[in-house]
């Protein structure tokens, strides 16, 4: 009996040690990891229930996510152009991202995705050479938030390498319907007599926070053909950018991918484009399972 108990205890201690090692490797402290993966409302009984054991034994478990984070961290360390503070910020955003977005990133993004990290022009993904051109120093200090540009441009890369996923017609329709529904409801609830007045007011709403609203602002500008002018938009530098409607869907895909790694920006996206965001996540799920 005692031998069995000793053996069981040794297994528990070994499991705890492996978990501690994992947590240290991804740069999180123990309390933060516990808070993220085991909420306080869960009792010891809950954590040892059959339901919880079933979750632990699937790909939905924290261990599966840790593997994705560890793989990503190795990738970051292979980029010698990243300074420590920027690497840490990017790693933290990734750790806080959705499981499916982490999985898709690790599946499609090669180690050498950024070919020029000191680029002086506008950050972009080049579909010809399949590389990203951006400025790490600018992204580190960006008013949009550190890492927003990095994850956005990698969203463009995933869209392209996975077969131009943003061209999906259901995704297009969901986005357009969300836009029309939001403007219609805004007009009605604020007693505006014209669509133009409602669009102008929506633009003012979208000037409150560059850090949380720049992505939604950019999408709204494209969908309204410039009638909604928020805190950000491509038309400031490229007046005819949205004439090609495919650019709206491409940019939306990249914005929604980036938002998977920031809870505040994700909530903004969900507020304005709930159905398109849901469809986007279905598309992510689909490409994560494609061979």
CA 12, distance to chain mean position in Å, is: 35
Return the half-sphere exposure (C-beta side, CA atoms, 13 A cut-off) of residue 252: 36
Closest C-alpha among 67, 73, 65 to residue 92 = 73
What confidence tens digit (pLDDT) does each residue in 126-166 have? 999 999 999 999 999 999 999 999 999 999 999 999 999 99
The CA distances from residue 93 to 69, 76, 170, 261, 266, in Å, are 11, 12, 29, 5, 13
Does the pTM exceed 0.85?
A: no
- Strands 131-133 and 124-126 turn out to be antiparallel
What confidence tens digit (pLDDT) does each residue in 27-62 have? 555 554 455 454 454 444 444 444 433 433 444 556
- Give domain limits for the chain: 1-57, 165-289
What confidence tens digit (pLDDT) does each residue in 91-102 have? 999 999 999 999
Residue 34 CB contacts under 8 Å (≥ 6 apart), including other chains: none
Neighbours of 168 (CB within 10 A): 17
Order of strands across the sheet that contains 124-126? 114-116, 131-133, 124-126
């Amino acid at each position: 009996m005692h031998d069995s108990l000793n053996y069981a205890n040794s297994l528990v201690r070994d499991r705890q040690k492996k978990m501690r090692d994992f947590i240290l490797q991804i740069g999180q402290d123990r309390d933060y990891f516990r808070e993220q993966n085991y909420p306080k409302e869960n009792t010891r009984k809950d954590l040892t229930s059959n339901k919880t054991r079933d979750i632990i034994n699937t790909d939905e478990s924290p261990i599966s996510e840790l593997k994705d984070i560890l793989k990503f961290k190795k990738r970051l360390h292979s980029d010698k152009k990243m300074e420590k503070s920027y690497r840490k910020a990017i790693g933290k955003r990734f750790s806080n991202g959705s499981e499916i977005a982490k999985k898709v990133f690790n599946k499609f993004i090669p180690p050498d995705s950024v070919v020029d990290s000191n680029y002086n022009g506008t950050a972009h993904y080049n579909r010809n050479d399949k590389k990203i051109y951006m400025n790490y120093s600018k992204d580190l200090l960006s008013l949009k938030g550190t890492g927003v540009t990095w994850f956005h441009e990698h969203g463009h890369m995933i869209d392209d390498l996975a077969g131009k996923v943003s061209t999906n017609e259901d995704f297009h329709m969901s986005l357009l319907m969300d836009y029309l529904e939001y403007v219609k409801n805004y007009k009605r609830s604020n007693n505006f007599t014209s669509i133009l007045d409602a669009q102008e007011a929506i633009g003012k709403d979208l000037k409150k926070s560059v850090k949380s609203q720049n992505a939604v602002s950019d999408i709204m500008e494209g969908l309204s053909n410039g009638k909604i002018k928020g805190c950000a938009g491509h038309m400031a530098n490229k007046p005819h950018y949205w004439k090609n409607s495919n650019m709206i869907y491409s940019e939306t895909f990249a914005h929604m991918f980036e938002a998977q790694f920031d809870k505040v920006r994700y909530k903004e996206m969900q507020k304005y484009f709930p159905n398109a965001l849901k469809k986007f996540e279905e598309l992510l799920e689909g490409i994560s399972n494609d061979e």
